[in-house]
Structure 1
Amino acid sequence: MEIPDLVRDALGGEDVELGVNLGDEDVVCLTPTRTLLYRAEGLLSDEKVQEFPHDVEWLDVKEGRRKTKFVLEYVEGTRKFGVPGNRDGAVLELLLTGILRADGVTDPDESVAGAFRFSELVLIVTDERVVRHIGSAVWTEDYEEYPFSDLTGLSFEQGNVATEVVLEIDGRPKRIKTPNEQARKVQQVVENAVFDFYGVGSLDELNATIGVEEDGEGGHEDTEGSSDIDIGGGIDPLVSDDEERSPSIDGPTASGSSGSSETTARAESRSRSDSENDTASGAAERRERAADAGGSRASATESGARSQGSAAASQRDLDAVESQLAELTTAVERHNELLEQQQRTIKKLIEELREGR
């Protein structure tokens, strides 16, 4: 954990032994004689350091929905500060480490391994002892301690509602009731501290070492489950057949006959007349087809020109739409950035108001 410069300036030659990060840049630091609370610069307050000496008359803890408040009573008055609710356990252990040392309950190099609060009962486990305090406050001068060096037996007796931690001191049992929902955690902390003190690895080994045979077993099982989800499907192709038709064109046939010369002459005359008529009719038909072809070419040219003009107009419209869309996207992104910045500012302001800063 990085120590802020303002905290270093307030140490006065002492060292920081422990620290708890409160989120953002706020921290709580433990020195041999004081607890230092550092508050970073915020919307409602400047950067600052608050000092809380360890020679307190009593310590109380008030839990809220989001914040926990620590109240320290001194001869000259009361001091208090608040921390986020998810950091209160670590801060309580840090505070109790300093207070127990100042009261002479623990040694200067002794640390708190765990602190538990059950209504008006507070159970403190250190590296070398168990301390019990009963009362409305978390800590006063009214307490009992059970040093590990005097331990002659350790066991845990589970009931329907509570589990008793049985500490046998010089042959006399001291019973501490803990709720079953937290009994496993309490047992682990007590066992770890005692095992480390005596250099053993189990409860049976401990009791054999200190001369008392007691069985204490506990365990839990973890179960794991998994599920698989199969996703399947298919796509059937669509197939269609095209049919084509070819039209047929039929041409007529002609036949001729012979007769008298007059008839022949008349026939030849009619033939020449028909030929001339066919020639004139063919020329007229060719002129009509030429006129139709010219009209078709003109119509096609005009249609192509209209098509090219329509395509050019469509491209201009598309370019204009894309340009407007790009401008709108830029404006929306900037608006979102401003909203996110405002939300961060409001969140920070709410946090500082809740912390009483």
Structure 2
Amino acid sequence: MTVPGLVQSALDGEEIVTRVSIGGDDELFVTPSSSIVYRAEGLLSTRRIKQFPHDADRITISEGRRKTSFTIEYSLDDPVEFAVPASKTEEVLQPILAGVLNGNGITSADETVAKIYRFSELTLILTSNRLVKHIGEAVWDEDYEEYQFDDVTNLSFEDGSVATQIVLEVDGRPQRIKAPNDAADDIRERLQRALFEYHDVESLAELNTVLGEEQEDDGDDGTVDFGDGVDPLDANPPEPDDEGGEAATASATSQSGAGEQVTDESGGADPRSNRSEAEATTLESQPLMDDLADESDPDPTADTSPAPSPEVLERLETLEAAVERQNERLEKQQQTIEQLITELRQGR
């Protein structure tokens, strides 16, 4: 990807270490010595950049529902402020914080930031060589603590119902860090992995042996056993039993016809008399039904309305054209509103 001209002129020959999209054509460019926030031309502003060096004294962020504001403070220079979409907070914070740690001489040039954890006023920064802890409203300032992996003498974890204690012994002195349980497994895994790689070991027991502290033989080497994984829910649960079976068919009962009956000599009803009366009634009513059919209304589905006049057709065409033009204007206005909302969320 090409680098915008404004950014290219501000690099001063430095190499771009990280490049992060922060919405639309806006981007964050991180070099070893500074970070550059580039804003592309839009409805609310022209193209511009905001550059700040990494020797900052304090980093504060304010998170909202749609955007996050960053404030970078210095001892002599004015603070630098910018905003990014809320969804980009962690993606922007990590390279900036890594640059500031390196710019203040806390981390080395070849040291990488593996993960940043933020729990209320506690910030943990795990790098390839150390663990940095900061407590306070800011994400980072000069009141921080660091635990270099060279100085670690033991590592253990104490599980609790709400939080997990990370017990990191540094030069024989335990340093306790409390982390909520929903993030404790991730911290445990990443911290162990970083220490294992740094000291070239493969287990927590081996690590503590190498560090000079024999772990109590309680049958647990401290590693997390995830087993064979979580059994997935049955994707094809058994079908419920079909109770009740098919409904029984109802038997129809016939009823005898109403009206007068003619009895035969034995006193019983003569079925031929009812049949004769029905036939006579049908024959008598047939002419009347034929007359009614001849005088019935025409087919109700037939279109009997008069055709519209040419003047009405012309007015309808004019109205349709006006509606189409109005819809086009509304669509353009909607696109403009959406672009304004996007730029506002990007912190312009």
Q: TM-score, normalised by structure 1?
A: 0.66
CA distance in 2, matches of 1:337, 1:179: 53
**Which SS does the other structure have where 1:62 is aligned?**
strand
> Residue 20 of structure 1 corresponds to which residue in structure 2?
20
Distance change in 2, residues 1:228/1:347 (3 Å): farther
State which structure, 1 or 2, has the greater radius of gyration over its C-alpha atoms: 1
Distance across 2 between alignment mates of 1:333 and 1:184: 59
Give secondary structure in 2 for the equivalent of 1:108: coil
Aligned to 1:82, the other structure's residue is in SS state strand
User: Which has more helix, going by share of residues?
Assistant: 1
Q: Over residues 294-320 of structure 1, what are the superposed CA-to-partner deviations in whole Å (9 max), with x where a residue is unaligned?
A: xxxxxxxxxxxxxxxxxxxxxxxxxxx
Q: What residue number does 1:293 align with?
A: none
**Are 2:345 and 1:350 equivalent residues in the alignment?**
no
Higher relative contact order structure (alpha carbons within 8 Å, sequence separation ≥ 6): 2
Q: Provide the rounded CA distance (Å) in 1 between the counterparts of 2:44 and 2:27.
A: 18
Runs of 4+ residues over 6 Å off in structure 1: 328-338
Listed one character per residue, the Cα deviations across residues 84-142 of structure 1 (whole Å, up to 9, x for unaligned) are 11111121111111111121111122121111122221111111000111222121111
Match of 2:315 in 1: none
Superposed counterparts of 1:86-97, under 5 Å? 86-97=87-98
* Structure 1 runs not aligned, ≥5 long: 231-327
Residues 242-321 of structure 1 aligned to structure 2 (within 5 Å): none
**Counterpart for residue 224 of structure 2:** 218
SS of match in other structure, 2:84: strand
Displacement of 1:208 after TM fit?
A: 3.3
What is the alpha-carbon distance in structure 1 between the residues aligned to residue 329 and residue 180 of structure 2?
A: 50
How far is 1:229 from its partner? 11
The 1:210–1:11 alpha-carbon spacing in structure 2 relative to 1, beyond 3 Å, is: same
Counterpart in 2 of 1:76? Answer: 77
Amino acid at match of 2:160: G
Q: CA deviation at 1:202?
A: 3.0
Q: How far 1:341 moved relative to its partner?
A: 4.8
Across the aligned residues of Structure 1 and Structure 2, the Cα RMSD in angstroms comes to 3.4
In the TM superposition, what is the alpha-carbon distance from 1:211 to its structure 2 partner? 3.2
One-letter amino acid matched to 1:348: Q
Secondary structure class of the residue paired with 1:35: strand
Counterpart residue number, 2:114: 113
| Offset at residue 198 of structure 1 (A) | 2.1
Residues 1:24 and 1:200: Cα distance change in structure 2 (over 3 Å): farther
1:132-158 C-alpha deviation (Å, 9 max, x unpaired): 112221211111111111122122221
* 2:203–2:223 Cα contact (<8 Å) kept: no
Distance 1:333 1:210, change over 3 A: farther
Q: How many Å separate the matches in 1 of 2:154 and 2:86?
A: 36
How far off is 1:73 after superposition? 1.3
Structure 2 residue runs without a partner (length 5+)? 216-220, 240-318
Which one is further off, 69-78 or 123-132? 69-78
Partner Cα distance (1:178, 1:36) in 2: 33
Distance 2:190 2:92 in 1: 17
Instruction: Indicate whether 1:33 and 2:29 are aligned.
Output: no
5 Å matches for 1:110-149? 110-149=111-150
Q: Cα distance, 1:335 vs. partner? A: 7.7
Contact 2:7–2:36, Cα closer than 8 Å, also in 1: yes
* Corresponding residue of 2:161: 160
- 1:344 Cα shift? 3.4
Aligned residue pairs total 272
In the aligned structure 2, how far is the partner of 1:188 from the partner of 1:332?
Answer: 62
The secondary structure found in structure 2 opposite 1:71 is strand
Q: Quick one: structure 1 residues 152 and 341, their matched pair in 2 at CA, closer, same or farther if it must change by over 3 Å? A: farther
Give the Cα separation in 2 of the matches to 1:139 and 1:229.
Answer: 55
Match of 1:52 in 2: 52
Q: CA shift at 1:204, angstroms?
A: 3.0
Distance 2:195 2:51 in 1: 33
